[in-house]
Amino acid sequence: MEIRLQAVDIHKTFILHLQGGKRLNVLKRVDLTVEAGECVALTGPSGIGKSTFLKILYGNYKPDSGRVLIYHLGQWINTVEAEPYQILDIRRSTIGYVSQFLRVIPRVPAIEIVMEPLQRLGLSVQECRVRAEELLRRLNLSESLWTVSPTTFSGGEQQRVNLARSLIYPYSILLLDEPTASLDEKNRAIVVQLIQEAKRRGTAVVGVFHDRTVREALATRYFNLSMEESG
Amino acid sequence: MTHLKEPLLKVMGVTKYFGDRVGCRDISFELWPGEVLGIVGESGSGKTTLLNTLSFHLEPTRGTILYWMEEEGPVNVGQLPESKKRHLMRTEWGMVRQNPREGLRMRVSAGANIGERLMAIGVRHYGRIRAEVQRWLERVEIDTDRANDLPETFSGGMLQRLQIARNLVSRPRLVFMDEPTGGLDVSVQARLLDLLRALVAELHLSLIIVTHDLGVVRLLSHRLLVMRQGEIVESGLTDQVLDDPHHPYTQLLVSSVIQA
């Protein structure tokens, strides 16, 4: 049993100052431990805080209290208390995150978006390119699109670029927020296959999967956030 | 950006008054080597005053700024003799201004604008200066045929790229930028941002960038300070501050952005 990630006693409230200080209590006393090779599917009705929880695990949202412990390069780091550069360091080499939407950078071609995480780790341009091409080919992204900025891509094309970007490096933790939402059946199956490969390598996966087929294929365990909240 | 024991810059309680009006107050933070720090806030929030105070274009009323020099280690910048401050500004530091006309010498050629910085750090070999000028013009996407032209004949975007080349040619360790994309057309902005993004990664630059454009900091900066009425109201990892803002003012700033 190799634990990769541990969320302890997470509470999250949003205070909307522009709406008269309205409080949204989203997460209460959430505990989750994830081991290498596991895939935990977050479940519960929409609006219960599944994406919020994933964002907290990624260090994108800050919980009111609790700890998020990440096993990073041989040591445990609590990202709730960590310095910004430590979180960036963790994202560079330990946690991959796939959001529902690609943040497109004008002028940067798809292939470079995919290569970037590897380049930041110091791999040669040539090596990064080969791996990016391999992955984009597997994800059936038409070769004519590789050198184009994804600004004009369809939702499904953008999502595949997004996935390739996070699957190009064998992160030990993968966070997936609806990774197949805008894909057709054929590409969905390929993504499932790629994530299964990551699990076999020992990646700890936490995800929100709306698609039942995808969820059932990938999940080794379900984690219901609504039950967690009342319990 | 890696784990490093020593920061590049340590700012402690820096305050600037203009008479009894507050420019910025009690500003403290550290900047690490290779880190890009964004400072955001609306007009009049004190962000440009802070930048000018940090870079000693304005004398701070109070507070201390420590800078880790390449050779000598930490120095209290405020106590350096004027000549040494100026030397630092020309060598280890760079300053990119919103209006490139203020940061360039408009009466000498584009090439000379770049070459001059090299001469200031003691490069004397003409061939080497020429080669570096060429290389930098290419790097900032200016046609090398234009090396002998006066900056006056350049477009706004070209001027800004020239100013960046002038600053980076001497390989500074710390660069201050004040609204580098301000006043440029959107398509020109995108090109400049893309260039800056590549340069920051390539040269392992430490950068303090002041802007009111949240898109710019989202793309470039690792960490963010939000300023209001001269003070820091929120700080942290850039995407955390922008996606999960806690302070009422930050929430207002973020929600005021019109999504294209």
State the smallest CA–CA distance between residue B159 and chain A in angstroms. 20
| pLDDT (tens place) for every residue of chain B, 260 residues total | 445 578 999 999 999 999 999 999 999 999 999 999 999 998 889 999 999 999 988 999 999 999 999 888 999 999 999 999 888 988 899 999 999 999 999 999 999 999 999 998 888 999 999 999 999 999 999 999 999 999 999 999 999 999 999 999 999 999 999 999 888 888 888 888 888 988 888 888 999 999 989 989 999 999 999 999 999 999 999 999 999 999 999 999 999 876 65
The token duo for A82 is 């960590």
Q: Which of A61, A107, A120 sits opposite B194 (nearest CB)?
A: A107
Residue A64, Cα to own-chain centre: how many angstroms? 21
Contact B243 A108 (CB under 8 A): no
Q: In the beta sheet, which residues pair with residue A96?
A: A174
Scanning B3-62 for CB atoms below 8 A from A yields: 3, 32, 35
Q: Which residue of B has its CA nearest to A103?
A: B219
- The ipTM value here is 0.92
Alpha-carbon distance of B195 to B96, in angstroms, equals: 14
Tell me, yes or no, if A17 comes closer than 8 A to chain B by beta carbon: yes
Domain ranges of chain A: 3-94+171-227
Strands (E), chain B: 9-18, 21-31, 36-40, 62-69, 73-76, 93-96, 174-178, 206-210, 223-228, 231-237
Q: DSSP 3-state assignment of A139?
A: coil
Q: Which of B190, B244, B248 sits opposite A107 (nearest CB)?
A: B190
> Is B239 in CB contact (< 8 Å) with chain A?
yes
Length reported for chain B: 260
Question: Nearest CA of chain B to the CA of A59: how many Å?
Answer: 7
The pTM of this model reads 0.92
- Closest chain A residue to the Cα of B239, Cα to Cα: A60
Give the model's pLDDT for residue A145: 96
The candidate with the shortest Cα–Cα distance to B117, out of B138, B98, B96, is: B96
- B23 and B230 in contact (C-beta within 8 Å)? yes
CB contact under 8 A, A62 and B222: no
Q: Which of residues 66-105 of B touch A (CB under 8 A)?
A: none
Nearest CA in chain A to B4: A85
Mean pLDDT (10-residue bins), chain A, 231 residues: 95 95 95 98 93 97 98 97 94 94 83 93 94 96 95 92 95 96 93 97 97 96 76 38
Over the range A92-114, which residues count as b (16 or more CB within 10 Å of their CB) and which as e?
bbbbbbbbbebebbeebbbbbbb
Task: Look at domain A3-94+171-227 and name its CATH class.
Answer: alpha beta
Distance from CA of A36 to the nearest CA of B (A): 26
- Cβ separation A55–B194 shorter than 8 A: no
> Which residues in chain B have their CB less than 8 angstroms from residue A86's CB?
3
Q: Which chain A residue is nearest to residue B246, measuring alpha carbons? A: A15
Which chain B positions have a beta carbon within 8 Å of A119's beta carbon?
201
Residues of B within 8 A of A61 (CB-CB) are: 240, 243-244
User: Which residue is associated with the tokens 């205070």?
Assistant: A15
Q: Using an 8 Å CB-CB cutoff, list chain B residues near A105.
A: 194, 197, 219
Say what the pLDDT of residue A229 is. Answer: 47
Instruction: Judge whether B251 is closer than 8 Å to chain A, CB to CB.
Output: yes
CA of A37 to nearest chain B CA: how many angstroms apart?
A: 28
